[in-house]
Amino acid sequence: MFDFRQLRYFVTVAEELSFTRAAQRLYISQPPLSQQIQALENDLGVRLLERNKRNVSLTEPGRLFLEQARHILDKAEEARAQMADAATGFSGKLRLAYTVSVTFHPALPQTLLRYRSFAPQVRLILSEMYTEQQYAALLSGELDVGFVRDEPEHPGMARNLRLDVIDREPLLLALPANHPLTDRDSIWLREVAMEAFVVQPRELAATLYDRLAQIAAKANFHPLIRQHAQQINGLLVLVAAGMGLALVPASMRSVNLPGVKYLKLEDPDAYMLLALASRLDDPNPVVRRFLSAMTEPE
C-alpha cells in the first residue's frame, strides 16, 4: 500500500511535470523519485503519469488521483497539527466547576475570558458545584479544575490535590437597610451577638456556615440561626425581609438588592478563600496549560 512519502512525491511531480525539478524541490536524486512513483503506480494498478525523454503529463486517472492525494495530505497535516495542539494543551476539553458564590466574583468571568482567548480550541464544560462536591469529583476523575471556597475538609484529600489561591475575599455583614447599625462603616461580629442570623444549610455550604461559627466562637457566642436559604443570593432576600443578618463574600455587593446594607467586619478571620483546585501532578496537558496560564502574572 502507498505511503505519505509516495503521495508527496507524486504531487510534486504532478505540479512540476518534471522529474528533474521535482527531485530538486524534494532534495532527493531523480532515480529514487522515479522508483517511488513507479511503486505507487504498481500498488494502484494504474498509470498516473505519461513520460518520455522530453515530457511528463498526467493521465486521466492521474488527474483524479492528484485531487485525492492533495486532500489526504491536507487531512494528514490537519491531524498532525491537532495532535500537536492536544499534546501541548491547546485543544481537547476542560471540565471546570465553580460554587454559586464565585459567580459574583470577578475572577470567574476574567479567567474564562482570558482562557478563551488563550486556548480557543479547548472545549470548556462548566458546572455549578459546592466546594466539597468539587473535591470528590476531582479525586474521582469526573472534574479537571474547580473554583473552590475552602481547603479540603478531610486532611487526607489534600495529599492528592493542588490548590492555587486566587483571593482571600473579605466577608461582609449584610443587614436590613433600616437596621440601627447601618450608619457605621465597619463592625465586630460580637456587637451583633444577640441578633438572629440567616444561613445556608451546612450540608450545602459548609465553608460559610463554619466561618460564621468560627468567628462567633472567638467572640464567645453561638449564633442564633433563625432561617435557612438554599442559595447564597437567597440570604440577601431574607435579610431584606428583616429575617436576620448574614455573612456574605464582599463580591455579593454587586447584587445591589434594595433593602440590604453591608458593613465591613473587623474580625481577622472574616474572609473566604478563593482558589483553583486540581489533581496533584495531573498529566493532562490541557489542565497543565490552563493552570500555568491562569496562575502566572499577565
- Whole-number pLDDT of residue 88: 54
Residue 86: pLDDT over 70: no
Question: Among 88, 115, 144, where does a domain finish?
Answer: 88
Say how many residues make up the chain.
298
Q: Are residues 142 and 205 in the same domain?
A: no
Domain boundary among 88, 115, 148: 88
Q: How many CB atoms lie within 10 A of CB 13?
A: 27
Tell me the CATH number at 73: 1.10.10.10
Lowest mean pLDDT among 30-34, 247-251, 266-270: 30-34
Cα–Cα distance for residue pair 56/185, rounded to 1 Å: 88
CA nearest 186: which of 117, 126, 264, 96? 264
Q: Which residue do the cell numbers 491562569 mark?
A: 294
Same domain for 158 and 279?
yes
- Which pLDDT value is given to residue 219? 92
What is the residue range of 260's domain? Answer: 171-270
Q: What is the separation, in whole angstroms, between the first and last Cα of the chain?
A: 51
Same domain, 233 and 202: yes
**CB atoms near residue 95 (< 10 Å):** 19
Residues 61 and 183 in one domain: no
Buried b (16+ CB within 10 A) or exposed e, 34-67: bebbeebbeebeeebbeeeeeebebeeebeebbe
Q: Is residue 79 scored above 70 in pLDDT?
A: no
Beta carbons within 10 angstroms of residue 296's beta carbon: 7
Which of the four pLDDT bands, split at 50, 70 and 90, describes residue 14?
Answer: confident
Same domain? 131 vs 115: yes
Check whether residue 23 and residue 78 sit in a common domain: yes
Answer yes or no: do 212 and 75 share one domain: no
> What is the DSSP code (8-state) at residue 175?
E
By the 8 A CB rule, do 265 and 186 touch?
yes
How far from 219 is each of 2, 79, 204, CA to CA, in Å?
Answer: 80, 63, 25
> If pLDDT is split at 50, 70 and 90, which confidence band does 286 have?
confident
Question: Between residues 270 and 118, which one has the greater pLDDT?
Answer: 270
pLDDT for res 83:
67
Domain count, the chain: 3
281 shares its domain with 157:
yes
> Would the pLDDT of 270 be above 60?
yes
Q: Would you say residue 105 has pLDDT above 60?
A: yes
Find the CATH number of the domain harbouring 132.
3.40.190.10
284, 264: one domain: no
Looking at mean pLDDT, say which of 12-16, 51-55, 256-260, 280-284 comes out highest.
Answer: 256-260
How much is the mean pLDDT over the chain?
Answer: 87
Residues 278, 228, single domain; the answer is no
Answer yes or no: is pLDDT of 154 > 80.
no
Residue 179 has a CB neighbour count (10 Å cut-off) of: 19
> Is it the case that residue 297 has pLDDT exceeding 60?
no
- % residues pLDDT > 90 (the chain): 39
CA distances from 9 to 21, 41, 51, 186 (A): 12, 12, 15, 77
Mean pLDDT of 94-106: 91
Q: How far apart are CA 204 and CA 261, in angstroms?
A: 25
**CA dist., res. 96 & res. 141, Å (int):** 12
Please check whether residues 143 and 280 belong to one and the same domain. Answer: yes
Q: What is the pLDDT of residue 178?
A: 93
Count of CB atoms situated within 10 Å of the CB of 185: 6
| 117-121, 151-155, 242-246, 262-266: range with lowest mean pLDDT | 151-155
**Domain identity same for 155 and 278:** yes
- Overall average pLDDT of the 11-15 stretch: 85
Say if CB 278 and CB 291 are below 8 A apart. Answer: yes
